[in-house]
Structure formats: structure tokens, C-alpha cells
Structure 1
Amino acid sequence: MQPRRQPPPAPRPRGNCPGAPLLALLLLLALRGAAAAPAGPEDPRRPQDAGLSRGLLQQAARAALHFLNFRAGSPSALRALAAVQEGRASVSAGAAPVNPKEGCKVDLVFSTERYNSEEGEEHFGNCSARVFFKNQKPRRAINVTCTQLLEKRKRQQEDYLLYKQMKQLKPPLDVVSIPDSHGHIDPSLKPIWDLAFLGSSYVMWEKTTQFLHYYLAQLTSVKQWKTDDDEIDFDYTVLLHEFSTQEIIPCRIHLVWYPGKPLKVKYHCQELQTPEEASGTEEG
């Protein structure tokens, strides 16, 4: 009788697997670890897989981008997410491995593009970030570094041009909705939208969690104030779309901006579930 043929061994994992293979690789490693580990409780101090998924990496990338956009304080330097390239998540130290709701740490690399990118324009650059999602205040801590930043002189020129356009607008601004019902933004209103997006980046960064993702859906009102100095000072109302709950959340935001200076933002969002977390203020 011939000996029974053994099945071929599982392929050895390779490093830096992009996209979907990364998820399969981590699942394979988790299964092997579970089979080899002895029975009994695990050391909670040891970093554990937190059920890494594409969605969690996307959440971390969005949070890092909102923080980056707000910190830059420049409408011309706004970035949008192009693609998540790789990442790893682990449960925060001291948290139970079976309960990722206690918080998690995400290390990732992602590519970006200019928010107002033109057709055919290449990706803006890569970013590496470490994002801590926590279920108590402060809710997240972010460390992000990016390459291929917009050249400083060009950014200053574009910001000053937008600043001049805003200063030339005559109050009161009669803004009903940006974009309109057809999704169109009139070129004359583009500076208002860009500044509103910049200020909203702080609000979305504050509110993004490992489970909640916000998107700026519409700007519904704008009131620009006359000031004794050169700063742009205006109030506006936005509608934020939260994807997992499909809720539309109105937020009133007050923004003070001048090219090259830190951005100042105050806001209040109409939320019935967590009113204690519905407002904030920050200077970039």
C-alpha cells in the first residue's frame, strides 16, 4: 500500500502585501497563532490583532487627513484620500483582546491627492500615520507625516488669491446651498466652499471614531462679518453625513482665517444622543 500523500504546506507569507492580500495574510497568521498558543488567558499587555479590516484602515486614514488639513490651515493644501496602501491594528495596551471597543492603535501608510485636483493629475504624495482610537476623551491621538507637500511659495500664492476673492465679496452673502441641488458649485462660490471645508475638517476630525465616518455634504448658510483687521471672519452652517447611521447632522461653525496664520474654529452640532460632545473650539 502506497503511503498517503500529505497536502502541500501553506505558502509562507510575504511582507508588504498590498490591498486585499493583506487581510488574508493577517487572518492566516491569526489562525496559526491560535492553533499554536497554549490554553489559558493571554497577556493583556501584548498587542493583539483587533480584527483588522479595510474599513478600520479607511477610518484611520480619514481621521489623519482631517487632522492634517486642519493643522495646515491652508485651503490650497487640502488633501483627499487616494488609497490605503498597508496597515496594522492592535488593541490598546491594557484592553481585553476580545473587546476592540476599548480602543485600538492603527499604523498605516496611504496615498493622497489634491482636494481640488485636476483631471490627469498624479497623486499628491504618501502619508504614514499612527492613530489611537479611544472611547474616552481625548478620543484620538494622531501622528502623521507626509511627503510631496505643495511647494510653499505656490501654496502662499494660491491662498492669497483665495483671500482676495473672499475680501471682494460684498456682505450680506446670499448663499442658499453649496453645492446646489444638482451638485454644482458656482466658480464664484468656490472660495467659500474651500474655506468651509477647511474649518469642517476640524469638526470631522473631532467626531470621527473607529465606527463613525463623516462627510461634508452641503453648506447651507454663510454670514461674513466685517472686521477691523485683515482676517476673514464668518459663520456658516454645514450638513455632515454620517455613513454608518445615515444621519444628517447640522453644525454651526465660526471660522477666523488669514493666510499663513493658525486657523481658529468654534462649532456646535445638533446631536440629541451625545449633547456633551456636540461643541468645541480650537486654534490650529
Structure 2
Amino acid sequence: MQLRRPLLPGGPCPASPLPALLLLLALQGAAATPARPGGPQDSGWQKDAVLPHGLLQQAARAALHFFNFRVGSPSALRVLSAVQQGRTWINSKKEYQVDLVFTTERYNPEKGEEHLGKCSAQVLFRNEKPRPVVNVTCTRFIEKNTRQQKDYLLYKHMKQLKKSLDVVSMPDSHGHIDPSLRPIWDLAYLGSSYVMWEKTTPSLHYYVAQLSSVKQWRTNEDAIDFDYIVLLHEFSTQEIIPCRVHLVWHPGKPLKVKYHCQGPQAPEEASGTEEGSAVAPT
């Protein structure tokens, strides 16, 4: 004869509280475990209390160089205005991941124009290696139709040139850029943005100092085939680094860049295939 456990008044016998308690403790433990920012849980990453000097500005510059390259518009170039906030993580390999928000300005601002707006970015510096991994999003971008019209006017101007460009230096010895050559400078700066992003490390950053040679190559394709030598000023070492840059540009299409720089830290050649992504502005 089988004995049955008597039921308690009001319903069936309640289950043991031990499994529920263990589940609750497990959930609390998972919530307390820090996660690597922007990725899966990784206990090797921790918030860095002491930032390397200038790391937030360094990350903002790298993100902006990458953004300018990805947008591919000489009419919509941005420069860094100010870093508003940021936080940094470090792992056992001395890699830094930086989350930050910064403001930008037009590279060629028009009279009375204010800040373009904000950008948010996540930048990963793999120790002292160049070419940081970038994800960046910017808002309040220049009006799309205006940008497309300006880009097309530049494109049309270069395609209608009766002879290829052959400029010795820009700016000249007095720091002056002829207004008729300003669009050419902007296009060269656009291609140089790719070079500066690739060469950036946590301790090295670059600015365009001068174009020592500018030439346009005639091609049978619709794109502008453009070749120039840019002198990059590296601020940490105060060195001037010449880089030969070749770019292929067509309005509305991805920019293609190849380059070769003198110096021990430069890759022999680079192209427009890169790691990371730039999100289209909203």
C-alpha cells in the first residue's frame, strides 16, 4: 500500500526554497560582474583611474580622422573643437579602450557658423601600435544636398581643367593658399585624414603642415585620380614626415587611398580597406 504525503491546507506542498535562492544569488553575482565596455564580459578589462596624458584628445583626433575619411567629402571636413567627456579601460596587454563625446567645427567655417555638433566614439588603442580601431557617430552634419552640390562643383572643376595640376607647394612660404586652390587643399586633406588615422598611436599624432607637390593624373574613368606629397607634423617628436599619397575620388563613392611615408613607423603601403566602422551621421 502506497503512502501519500498529506496536502497542506490551501494547495499543494510548496517547492524547496533552495533552488530559487541559488538562482537569485547567481543573478546578483552576474549583475555585479563588470563587463568589458562595448563587448562581452572580460575580467581582464578594468576602468583606468589614471589616464595617460592627452589620451582623450588623442582618441578624439583619431576618431575624427577616420570619420572624415569615411564620409569622403572635402566639403564636409570637421576639426576637433573640445572633448566633453570620456572614460577609459585598460587590460593586461596595456591596451586602452576609450569611450568619449566631443564637439566639432567645420574645417572651413562660414561666417557666423557655430559648432557642427557632437560626436560619440569608441576607440581601441592596441598598446603602442598604430591604426586604432574606431567606431564613431556624429550628429548635426552639414545639410546633405548642400554637401553634394559643393562636392560636385569641385569634381566638375577638376574634370574640366585643361591641363593637370602641378603645384610646387601649398601653402606658400607666407602661409597663403590661393582661393582657387583651396578645394584642392581640402581634397588633399581628406586623403591625408586616412594617413593620420592609420599612423596615430596613444602617444603620436599628426597635423598637415604643407603639400610639397600636387599633381592630377588623367584617367579614362570618371573618378579624380590625384597624387601629392604631404608633409605631416608629428607633435611628440616635432618631426616633419613626408608621405606620398595617391587617392581616387568621386562624389558619393568611397574614397580610395594608398600612401608611402618615410620613417620607421610607417607601413610600406596602405589602402582604403580598414578595420572598424564610421556610422552615417544623423
Same fold, judged at TM 0.5 (above): yes
The worse-fitting range, judged by mean Cα deviation, of 66-75 and 132-141 is 132-141
Partner residue, 2:81: 82
Measured at CA, do residues 185 and 139 of structure 1 come closer, stay the same or move farther in structure 2, by a change above 3 Å? closer
Pair 123,150 (structure 1): closer, same or farther in 2 beyond 3 Å: same
Aligned position for 1:207? 199
1:22-44 Cα offsets, whole Å, 9 max, x none, are xxxxxxxxxxxxxxxxxxxxx96
**Superposition deviation, residue 63 in structure 1:** 0.1
Greater mean deviation of Cα atoms: 230-239 or 132-141: 132-141
Q: Find 1:162's aligned residue among 133, 154, 161.
A: 154
Within 1, Cα distance between the matches of 2:49 and 2:72? Answer: 33
Structure whose CA Rg is larger: 2
CA change 1:170–1:221 in 2 (3 A) is: farther
* Correspondence for 1:274: 265
Moved more, 223-232 or 247-256: 223-232
| Uncovered stretches (5+) of structure 1, i.e. residues with no partner | 1-42, 96-101
Aligned to 2:134: 142
Q: For residue 65 of structure 1, what is the aligned residue in structure 2?
A: 64
Q: Which residue of 2 aligns with 1:51?
A: 50
The one-letter code matched in structure 2 to 1:134 is: R
For these two proteins, the number of residue pairs brought into alignment is: 233
Higher RCO (C-alpha 8 Å, min separation 6) = 2
| Pairing 1:1-284 to 2, within 5 Å after superposition | 45-49=44-48, 51-52=50-51, 55-92=54-91, 94-95=92-93, 102-135=94-127, 139-271=131-263, 273-274=264-265, 277-282=267-272
Per the alignment, residue 7 of structure 1 pairs with: none
Alpha-carbon spacing, 1:174–1:220, altered in 2? closer, same or farther (3 Å): same
Work out the percentage of aligned pairs sharing the same amino acid.
Answer: 70
TM-score, normalised via structure 2 length: 0.78
In structure 1, the residue matched to 2:23 is none
Which residues of structure 2 form unaligned runs of 5+? 1-41, 275-282
**Which secondary structure state, in structure 1, belongs to the residue aligned with residue 64 of structure 2?**
helix
CA distance in structure 1 between the aligned counterparts of 2:268 and 2:68, rounded to whole angstroms: 21
Report the alpha carbon displacement of residue 46 of structure 1 after superposing the two structures with TM.
4.4
How far apart are residue 52 of structure 1 and its match?
A: 1.9
Shift of 1:53: 5.3
TM-score, length of structure 1 as denominator length: 0.77
